[in-house]
Amino acid sequence: MTSRIAVLPGDGIGPEIVEQAVRVLRAPALNLDLELTEAPVGGAAYVAKGHPLPEDTLALAKQSDAILFGAVGDWKFDKLERALRPEQAVLGLRKALGLFANLRPAILYPELANASSLKPEVVAGLDILIVRELTGDIYFGQPRGVRTLEDGPYAGERQGYDTMHYAESEIRRIAHVAFQAAAKRQGRLCSVDKANVLETSQFWRDIMIDVAREYPKVELSHMYVDNAAMQLVREPKAFDVVVTGNLFGDILSDEAAMLTGSIGMLPSASLNASRQGLYEPSHGSAPDIAGQNIANPLATILSAAMMLRYSLDAAPAADRIEAAVQAVLARGLRTADIFEAGTTRVSTSEMGDAVLKAL
Amino acid sequence: MTSRIAVLPGDGIGPEIVEQAVRVLRAPALNLDLELTEAPVGGAAYVAKGHPLPEDTLALAKQSDAILFGAVGDWKFDKLERALRPEQAVLGLRKALGLFANLRPAILYPELANASSLKPEVVAGLDILIVRELTGDIYFGQPRGVRTLEDGPYAGERQGYDTMHYAESEIRRIAHVAFQAAAKRQGRLCSVDKANVLETSQFWRDIMIDVAREYPKVELSHMYVDNAAMQLVREPKAFDVVVTGNLFGDILSDEAAMLTGSIGMLPSASLNASRQGLYEPSHGSAPDIAGQNIANPLATILSAAMMLRYSLDAAPAADRIEAAVQAVLARGLRTADIFEAGTTRVSTSEMGDAVLKAL
Ligand SMILES: CC(C)[C@H](C(=O)O)[C@@H](O)C(=O)O
Ligand SMILES: CC(C)[C@H](C(=O)O)[C@@H](O)C(=O)O
């Protein structure tokens, strides 16, 4: 059966890195039955159609089995009102498709240990999975806005406000994803919250403890978010799987990714309850180097592999792509972001060529 | 004129580290005119008086020119209802005294460069100041709680919720503190928010831009909190002063502190509009090593120095304490947390002795 893939390249380096991932997915060696359809998203879509997430693009995404996403955002759109800014496409897709489970591995490839700003002994062999809830929390909570206060100590002043919240079933479903992931790994799950201050967090913690009873083989621990931000720096290898809400997950998954020093290598998946998913590199659109054919396409290629594994039931093909990426690293090929003396510097498209050849 | 200092040792290692700071403040060499009054706080106060912040302790704090605070918290109080837990004393003092400006330096002493989990070249000479707003944001925002939803997609379910908010004058006053601090340093201020998602953050950013017009010599930049969490790991020395809200500041100030690897060295100040302040080490109560006379008292001693500088107008005495700490480090004295081969391991009280002697 043909799988339908929506290809949304976006802004900045998005098009050039997605191009390489598409070449890999189309590789005769993989022999996949895919129908790939491209559509504009982000700033590119705003320019072409007046909206960062045009109706046609959203409709295509909804009908697809999976979405291969590049990146969105460019300084030139910073002055637009918030509803028209590129990032809104990301938030809109997550919400419309119910992509509540964001899986963000932070893996340090042995060949790239030097790229990290941390000492090699602290990060060598790093392999953490951050499970971030992606459709709830303060990201979408109502009410929100700017109002003029009528009473209290700041009466007469304007106030900006937002609402953080999580309903029980929202916490349960992400808990199940995280416990299942931990069960397949080292069996250790750390739930991160701020239960000493926030009601939402205390509720989150209570539900995590409740769900844990269904997974007696997984060891659940809890950590405050401030401490988690510290422990990730101090001893990142102490973590196996981390589960947390949308806002804390935004912060910690980026921190964890940067521990590796090679964020250009890190894929991500955002899944809904029917295993439909959006797959994108963990890094951004890097408009400063766009169009120069120097960006690292490997995170996007590895995102395509995640797509095959999680949404298309094609784990063998995913394994082959991942092995091909390992092989090109072992051969010493490096894009500019991960280049070091003694390795061979290649362009975006040359890296794509090399992965294709290794397949 | 005699300055009144409330001394609140708290839990865990609190009493033993505060004891050393008190010895330093009483050193004849400094010749300070201080009236030091001790009172229980945190778990110790709960045990003694049934509340983590007893009325007498709060009254003493309010009447004092400054508070020297140890640390609170111990696992044995984890099961108490939130209102009785040790941390509530911290929140209660901040709110009751209006301690809105938290200054958290992250400084790496050259002698301790090896203590960091980051590469020496990434952190050597690190000197960042994080200015965290401390009495607003989602920490105190109402409404908050757990409710049963009446409609919407999760009707009938329980939901945990909290409110994030900032009024205009709350943002203005912390902005002024941060701009003034930046003006005395390298003149670079980075305001951290999540303006691409949160209304509170967009409002925060607008006010920061407005206040910036009064400080033409300070260069203001803006960064999203997820990116800030990454850049602190990637290139921490690129920051000078960071200003941010209560929640993001909680996370980023701990992350920044841990970059140094020697959080046992880092003091903090929490000030109100009348320069009354609470001074405490950046680290916690470490109940696992309490009572063993091995904790590092230097962060508390340096907090006492900050107290002299910010609340008691005694900058020369502060300078002398800081120089004494530098001298004991230069002599190679180290408590267990910062010990390495080739240095001399000393106890908590021996470290206090050494600072006194160096004065
Ligand atoms: C672009 C932005 C809205 C988004 C987020 O905060 O979720 C991004 O930072 C991410 O993590 O995917
Ligand atoms: C104890 C806790 C409430 C507190 C906070 O979150 O502010 C602590 O983490 C801190 O940073 O001082």
> Which positions in chain B touch A162 (Cβ < 8 Å)?
163-165, 198-200
Instruction: Output phi, psi for B334, to 5 deg.
Output: -145, 135
- Residue B114 maps to a domain: no
Given pLDDT bands bounded at 50, 70 and 90, which one contains residue B17? very high
**Does residue A291 have a known ligand-binding role?**
yes
Q: Is B1's pLDDT higher than 90?
A: no
Whole-number pLDDT of residue A1: 85
Interval B110-165: pLDDT, tens: 999 899 999 999 999 999 999 999 999 999 999 999 999 999 999 999 999 999 99
Q: What is the Cα–Cα distance from B249 to B190, expressed in whole angstroms?
A: 12
B199 touches chain A (CB under 8 A): yes
Q: What is the mean pLDDT of residues A28-41?
A: 97
Lining residues, ligand 2, CB within 6 Å: A 196-197, 226; B 87, 90-91, 250
Decide: helix, strand or coil at residue A191: strand
Interval A239-289: pLDDT, tens: 999 999 999 999 999 999 999 999 999 999 999 999 999 999 999 999 999
CATH for B322? 3.40.718.10
Q: Same domain, yes or no, for B151 and B235? A: yes
Domain termination site, one of B259, B280, B307: B259
Whole-number pLDDT of residue A75: 87
Q: Which is the catalytic residue, given B46, B139, B279, B310?
A: B139
Pairing of strands A66-71, A3-10: parallel
- Residue B232 maps to a domain: yes
> Which positions in chain A touch B163 (Cβ < 8 Å)?
161-164
Please report, as a single letter, which amino acid is at residue B45.
A
Show which of residues 48-77 on chain A sit within 8 Å of chain B, judged by CB atoms.
Answer: none
**How distant, in Å, are the alpha carbons of A359, B96, B274, B277, B309 from that of B63?**
74, 12, 12, 12, 19
- Residue A254 maps to a domain: no
Q: Same domain, yes or no, for B302 and B331? A: yes
> Which positions in chain B touch A248 (Cβ < 8 Å)?
251
- Residue A341 maps to a domain: yes
The mean of the pLDDT values for chain B is 97
Whole-number pLDDT of residue A241: 98
Which tokens is A189 given?
């799950």
Q: What is the Cα–Cα distance from B209 to B191, expressed in whole angstroms?
A: 10
> Cβ–Cβ of A258/B229 closer than 8 Å?
yes
Burial status of residue B28 (CB atoms within 10 A of its CB: 0-12, 13-18, 19 or more): exposed
Whole-number pLDDT of residue A78: 83
Positions of E strands within A48-187: 66-71, 101-107, 127-133, 145-148, 158-167
User: What is the per-residue burial (b if ≥16 Cβ within 10 Å, else e) of A121-150?
Assistant: ebbeebebbbbbbbbbbbbbbeebeeeebe
Nearest Cα residue in chain A from B232: A255
Q: Same domain, yes or no, for B249 and B274? A: no
Q: Is A126's pLDDT higher than 90?
A: yes
Q: Same domain, yes or no, for B359 and B276? A: yes
* Structural domains of chain A, count: 1
Q: Same domain, yes or no, for B255 and B291? A: no
Whole-number pLDDT of residue B60: 98
Q: What is the Cα–Cα distance from A333 to A344, expressed in whole angstroms?
A: 5
- Residue B120 maps to a domain: no
B328 touches chain A (CB under 8 A): no
A98 touches chain B (CB under 8 A): no
Percent of chain B clearing pLDDT 70 (strictly above): 100
Show which of residues 133-152 on chain B sit within 8 Å of chain A, judged by CB atoms.
Answer: 138-139, 141, 144-146, 149
Catalytic residues of A: 139, 194, 226, 250, 254
Residues of B annotated in the binding site for substrate, as ranges? 94, 104, 132, 226
What is the value of pTM for the model shown?
0.97
Q: What is the Cα–Cα distance from A196 to B87, expressed in whole angstroms?
A: 7
Altogether, the residues listed in chain A come to a count of 359
Q: Same domain, yes or no, for B253 and B234? A: yes
Q: What is the Cα–Cα distance from B72 to B134, expressed in whole angstroms?
A: 17
Given pLDDT bands bounded at 50, 70 and 90, which one contains residue B78? confident
Q: In chain B, which residue ranges form alpha helices assigned H by DSSP?
A: 14-25, 43-49, 55-63, 87-97, 120-123, 168-184, 199-212, 225-234, 246-259, 298-310, 315-330, 348-358
Whole-number pLDDT of residue A125: 93
Interval A307-358: pLDDT, tens: 999 999 999 999 999 999 999 999 999 999 999 999 999 999 999 999 999 9
B163 touches chain A (CB under 8 A): yes
Residue bearing tokens 């929202």: A170
Given pLDDT bands bounded at 50, 70 and 90, which one contains residue A156? very high
Whole-number pLDDT of residue B159: 98
Whole-number pLDDT of residue A79: 87
**Does residue A70 have a known ligand-binding role?**
no
- Which of B87, B133, B247, B255 most suits a substitution to test ligand 2, by most atoms within 8 Å of the C-beta? B87
Given pLDDT bands bounded at 50, 70 and 90, which one contains residue B221? very high
Percent of chain B clearing pLDDT 90 (strictly above): 96
Q: Which is the catalytic residue, given B226, B313, B319, B357?
A: B226
Give catalytic status of residue B139 as yes or no. Answer: yes
How far out from the chain centre does Cα B227 lie?
A: 22
**Does residue A226 have a known ligand-binding role?**
yes
C-alpha A125 to ligand 1 mean position (Å): 27
Q: Where is B279: in which H helix or E strand?
A: strand B277-281
Q: Same domain, yes or no, for B183 and B208? A: yes
Q: Is B11's pLDDT higher than 90?
A: yes
Which tokens is B29 given?
């060499």
Percent of chain A clearing pLDDT 90 (strictly above): 96
**Contact A95/A221 with Cβ under 8 angstroms?**
no
- Residue B122 maps to a domain: no
- The residue range of the domain holding B180 is 127-259
B257 touches chain A (CB under 8 A): yes
Nearest Cα residue in chain B from A84: B196
> Which positions in chain A touch B231 (Cβ < 8 Å)?
258
Show which of residues 339-358 on chain B sit within 8 Å of chain A, judged by CB atoms.
Answer: none
Give catalytic status of residue B137 as yes or no. Answer: no
Whole-number pLDDT of residue A152: 94
> Cβ–Cβ of B160/A166 closer than 8 Å?
yes
Domain termination site, one of B259, B294, B328: B259
Q: Same domain, yes or no, for B134 and B254? A: yes
* List of residues 6+ apart from A195 with CB closer than 8 A: A201, A202, A204, A205, A222, A224
- Residue B2 maps to a domain: yes
Domain termination site, one of B197, B230, B259: B259
- Residue A85 maps to a domain: yes
> Cβ–Cβ of A159/B165 closer than 8 Å?
yes
Instruction: Output phi, psi for B12, to 5 deg.
Output: 55, -130
Q: Is B4's pLDDT higher than 90?
A: yes
Q: Same domain, yes or no, for B13 and B69? A: yes
Residues of B annotated in the binding site, as ranges? 94, 104, 132, 226, 250, 254, 284-296
Nearest Cα residue in chain B from A171: B159
Instruction: Output phi, psi for A294, to 5 deg.
Output: -120, -10
Q: Same domain, yes or no, for B224 and B152? A: yes
Instruction: Output phi, psi for A6, to 5 deg.
Output: -85, 130
Whole-number pLDDT of residue A82: 87
**Contact B196/A82 with Cβ under 8 angstroms?**
yes
Q: Same domain, yes or no, for B252 and B268? A: no
Q: Is B211's pLDDT higher than 90?
A: yes
Q: Same domain, yes or no, for B30 and B8? A: yes
